A and B are shown apart, each in its own frame.
Chain A
Amino acid sequence: MDMWMKIALAVVLGIMVMRLWPAAMHMLKHGPEGSNEDWRAALLPIAAVVGFIILLILMVRGN
Chain B
Amino acid sequence: MNTFDRVLAPQQDAIIATNKLIRNTYMLLSMTLLFSVVTAGAGMAIGISPGMSMIASLGAIGLLWLVLPRTENSAAGLVVVFGITGLLGLGLGPLLTHYLAIPGGGKLVATALGGTGVIFLGLSGYALTTRRDFSFMGGFLFVGMVVALVAMIANIFLDIPALSLAISGVIVLLMSAMILFDTSRIVNGGETNYLRATVSLYLDFYNLFIHLLSLLTAFAGGDD
The answer to whether A34 and B136 touch (CB under 8 A), given A46-B173, A48-B122, A52-B119, is yes
What separation, in Å, do the CA atoms of A20 and B147 have in the docked complex? 10
B65: chain A residues at CB < 8 Å are 19
Number of A residues, CB within 8 Å of B? 41
What separation, in Å, do the CA atoms of A20 and B107 have in the docked complex? 35
The answer to whether A24 and B146 touch (CB under 8 A), given A33-B136, A48-B122, is yes
Q: Which residue of A lies closest to B126 (CB)?
A: A45
20 A-B pairs with CB atoms under 8 Å apart are A1-B50, A9-B54, A10-B153, A13-B153, A13-B156, A14-B153, A23-B142, A24-B145, A27-B139, A39-B136, A41-B130, A42-B177, A49-B122, A53-B115, A56-B112, A57-B215, A57-B219, A57-B220, A60-B104, A63-B107
A39: chain B residues at CB < 8 Å are 136
Q: Which residue of B lies closest to A50 (CB)?
A: B173
Any A CB within 8 A of the CB of B78: no
What separation, in Å, do the CA atoms of A2 and B156 have in the docked complex? 11
Number of B residues, CB within 8 Å of A? 48
Contact indicator A59/B111 (Cβ below 8 Å): yes
Chain B interface (Cβ < 8 Å from any Cβ of A): 50-51, 54, 58, 61, 65, 104, 107-108, 111-112, 115, 118-119, 122-123, 126, 130, 132-140, 142-143, 145-146, 149-150, 152-153, 156-157, 172-173, 176-177, 180, 212, 215-216, 219-221
Contact indicator B220/A49 (Cβ below 8 Å): no
Contact indicator A41/B142 (Cβ below 8 Å): no
Contact of A56 among B104, B115, B132 (CB under 8 A): B115
What separation, in Å, do the CA atoms of A48 and B204 have in the docked complex? 18
B51: chain A residues at CB < 8 Å are 2, 5
B212: chain A residues at CB < 8 Å are 53, 56
Contact indicator A49/B119 (Cβ below 8 Å): yes
A60: chain B residues at CB < 8 Å are 104, 107-108, 111, 216, 219-220
Contact indicator A31/B136 (Cβ below 8 Å): yes
Contact indicator B115/A6 (Cβ below 8 Å): no
Contact of B157 among A6, A21, A46 (CB under 8 A): A6
| Min C-beta distance of B24 to chain A, whole Å | 25
What separation, in Å, do the CA atoms of A13 and B4 have in the docked complex? 53
B104: chain A residues at CB < 8 Å are 60, 63
| Min C-beta distance of B22 to chain A, whole Å | 19
B118: chain A residues at CB < 8 Å are 52
What separation, in Å, do the CA atoms of A36 and B81 have in the docked complex? 37
Q: Which residue of A lies closest to B140 (CB)?
A: A28
B157: chain A residues at CB < 8 Å are 6, 10
B219: chain A residues at CB < 8 Å are 57, 60-61
